Structure 1
Amino acid sequence: MVPSEERPIFVATHPRSCSTAFERVFMTREKELCCLHEPFGDAFYYGPERLSSRYEGDHNDAIDDRENSGFHEATYNSVLEEIERSGKEEKRVFIKDMACYLVPPSDHPTFDKAILAPSVTPSATYNGNGVSTPAKNPTVLPLSILKRFQFAFLIRNPRKAVPSYYRCCIPPLNEMTGFKYFMPNEAGYRELRVLFEYLLKERVIKHPSSQAANGETNGEHSVYNNVCVIDADDLLDNPKGIIEKFCEMTGLEFDEKMLEWGAHEGCENFDKWKGFHEDAIGSSGLRPRTKKKFRTTEEEMQEWLEKYGEEAAAVIDRTADENMEDYEFLRRFRVVV
């Protein structure tokens, strides 16, 4: 296996987790890092192996949307090839992507039993319909491929992330995003937890307590395999401390200059997801927030009612609550500094 400190860093997350602001921190290290922005979304939404139903179908609108994206031929293997090419530039690869792009969604036929994406299935065993992964593997990528990455995770309270995502799927913002309606199963928490638990079970990531239980040492490099979960609230409250700890755990050199950048600088890769990243694109740094806004669930509900109406507020409230258990589970592993 490639040494941990040389493997591509894969920050797995869910929509609206402040992940693009987090990503911009590492875009400042262009001499050492090659940053890839949500590459697996190309195959998930648009390509022949797509898992999402958002652009599914043979009707003209769906076909046009896929072709106009420029990614209608993207496969999981072509994405992996892109990652491999990026790693040949003598830079370490940094990937920020959605875990839900690797795990079949709830409305997909393989929801209960994932199959490998055909393009990554060995031709000797591929039967034309996909090959079932072992029951323990819930993703469309073989474990051997997942082991190539050094995983970290970024989470945000669903009562903040879900309404933010809903806003991207309704007028006027959806004219930019192209997401014409809200799909609750795109919240992404279930898939993030599923991926996390699988990687933990297969010891691709390791919790310090499990290492001690198995008699492993806490040597210099063991930290690179340790569970690294960042909560967006912690990141916003203490960006320097969290980023410094993240660098330590992923084998990167921390520089406080990473927390400052030029607005709109080097954001061309965000163009394929217009409307989702405008705040991060226009930002000029990651600084501790000076005001925390605590709201009761009643106050949150009232705000959603005023902004979106009764029916939409109920959908947001229900979707957030449905994902709270997975968020709370992942939060138990969060990095504390």
Structure 2
Amino acid sequence: MAITAPGNNDQPHRVLLVSVPRTASNLLLKILNIRSQPNVLTNPKCGYFFYDAFMSASKDGRIDKPLDQWPAEAKSETKAIMQECFDKLEDYSTRARAENKIMFAKEHAFWFQNPYFFTNRDAETPENMKEFRVSIPERYGSSQTFSANNKTIMPDEYLRTWHLAFIIRHPALAWPSMYRAMQKLSKAGFIDDDGMRGASVTNMSMEWTRKLFDWCLEQPDESVTPLVIDANDVIHNPGAVVKFCEKAGLDAASMQFEWNDSEKRSENWATANVDPGNPEELALHKTAASIMLSTLEESTGVVKDKAPASVDIDAEVAKWRVEFGDEAAEMLEKATRDSMPDYEYLKANRVTV
């Protein structure tokens, strides 16, 4: 019998964890012990199928430009890569179905949004946004609809076949952490200054997370409630993580809160993204991955000082001015305050014990 989401229809159980950078999502996966879950299939990166799509959409400052300013070849390239990313996700899903396993993937919310909405946040659904929508297999049916809160490249009918879960973190902690990491990536030569600013600003939002969460609540006959977990609970509230694990249909007995292993996810990330025959690019990606995963890979358990009990935004802004300078601090402050309504809304719906 196929594994199905608790209380769901006969669709195979698939869990999509929607994150944004620096929300302790890799720590959550480590605690859930995803790669050692007895009945779970995932890829070497535990997701990030749409990484290449985001990188393509980020080229040459495209993120900040309306679609009508994109060169035709840029649109074609990004569309093709988005389809490739989706097809790889479906390949794993097909394999999970054949092996009677739960398919698990983690994706940053911004990475699989339709590029049209990068600069047209509140627009109606125009004709020209259709070019980025992916083609889905016939088994999902002939109907393909995109309701108001579905700003992704995948139709409602497809998204409904996944159990969506979300991880959030206080913006005053997540966004400076992201900017700090982007600075290190820039110094390492992984991205240039424009790329650092673009990647920082575009990812410093919980807008896409909230839209997808609200989309879940609006679905007809939806019996699987979308899950939300806060990074603060991941670090300080083990019971909430256990409850999240069980509600996602995963094996709580496989969880771990301490570890002493030699696994280097940065190695998996780099080799999964780069041709091993390109040693220079491989080394660059290994450096980038080690920057993004440094805290986790240097730890043997949960590092509790990464999540203070309370956050004073004004006090944090003062620290940012010293660390990053006035211009970056102002950018971080705006991103933080703009994100707070979405964060507080999602936090109110998080898993609690």
TM-score, normalised to structure 1's length?
0.75
Deviations 1:116-151 (A, max 9, x none): 73441689xxxxxxx984556322101121112111
- Secondary structure at 2:90 match in 1: helix
- Cα deviation digits, residues 31-56 of structure 1 (max 9, x gap): 4322323112222323xxx4x45664
Alignment partner of 1:138 is 2:144: no
1:202 equivalent in structure 2: 219
Q: 1:33 aligns with which of 40, 51, 62?
A: 40
Displacement of 1:262: 3.5
Q: How does 1:140-289 map to 2 (within 5 A)?
A: 140-171=153-184, 174-175=187-188, 177-178=190-191, 180=193, 181-183=196-198, 184-203=201-220, 225-238=224-237, 240-255=238-253, 257-265=255-263, 267=265, 268-271=267-270, 272=273, 274=289, 275-286=291-302
Q: Is the 8 A contact 2:163 2:226 kept in 1?
A: no
CA displacement at 1:72 relative to structure 2: 5.6
Partners in 2 of 1:169 and 1:266 — Cα distance? 21
The aligned residue for residue 305 of structure 1 is: 321
Conserved in 2, the CA contact under 8 Å of 1:169 and 1:177? no
SS in 2 for 1:3: coil
Residue from 104, 109, 115 that aligns with 2:114: 104
- Greater relative CO, 1 or 2 (CA 8 Å, sep 6+): 2
| Structure 2 CA distance for partners of 1:315 and 1:287, relative to 1, 3 Å | closer
Change (3 A) 1:33 1:282: farther
**Which whole-Å deviations, capped at 9, do the CAs of 1:305-325 have from their partners, x for residues lacking one?**
111011111111111111111
- Distance across 1 between alignment mates of 2:60 and 2:167: 24
Q: Corresponding residue for 2:280?
A: none
Q: Which moved more, 1:175-184 or 1:314-323?
A: 175-184
CA–CA distance in structure 2, aligned partners of residues 203 and 150 of structure 1: 14
**Greater displacement, 169-178 / 89-98:** 169-178
> CA 1:176–1:244 in structure 2 vs 1: closer, same or farther (change >3 Å)?
farther
Question: Post-superposition shift, 1:99?
Answer: 1.6
User: Is the partner of 1:153 in helix, strand or coil?
Assistant: strand
CA distance in 2, matches of 1:204, 1:281: 42
The answer on 1:15 being equivalent to 2:21 is yes
Contact 2:16–2:106 under 8 Å retained in 1: yes
Contact 2:175 2:204 in 1 (8 A): yes
Whether contact under 8 Å (2:48, 2:106) holds in the other structure is: yes
List gaps (5 residues or longer) in structure 1.
124-130, 207-224
Task: Give the one of 76, 91, 94 matched to 1:82.
Answer: 91
Partner of 1:220: none
1:327 match = 343
Residue 219 of structure 1 is matched in structure 2 by none
Residue 279 to residue 102, structure 1, CA distance change in 2 (3 Å): same
Amino acid at match of 2:233: D
Change (3 A) 1:72 1:139: closer
Relative to structure 1, the CA distance from residue 288 to residue 296 in structure 2 (aligned partners, 3 Å threshold; closer, same or farther) is closer
Aligned residues: 299
> Which deviations, in whole Å up to 9, do the C-alpha atoms of 1:179-222 show, x marking residues without a partner?
6422322223111111111121014755xxxxxxxxxxxxxxxx
Q: CA deviation at 1:170?
A: 1.9
Match of 2:104 among 91, 94, 98: 94
SS of match in other structure, 2:113: coil
- For residues 43-87 of structure 1, the C-alpha deviation after alignment (integer angstroms, 9 at most, x for no partner) is 2323xxx4x4566477xxx9xxx99xxx96863432333332441
Once residues 97 and 135 of structure 1 are traced to their aligned partners in structure 2, the CA distance between those partners, rounded to angstroms, is 21
Cα distance in 1 between the residues matched to 2:135 and 2:25: 27
The worse-fitting range, judged by mean Cα deviation, of 305-314 and 93-102 is 93-102
C-alpha spacing 1:203/1:2, structure 2 compared with 1 (3 Å): farther
Deviation of the 1:288 alpha carbon? 5.4
Matched, 1:115 2:125: no
CA RMSD between the two structures: 3.5
1:41/1:288 CA distance change after superposition, 3 Å: same
Would the alpha carbon gap of residues 77 and 290 (structure 1) be closer, same or farther in structure 2, given more than 3 Å must change? closer
| CA-CA distance at 1:248 after TM superposition | 1.8
| TM-score normalised per structure 2 | 0.72
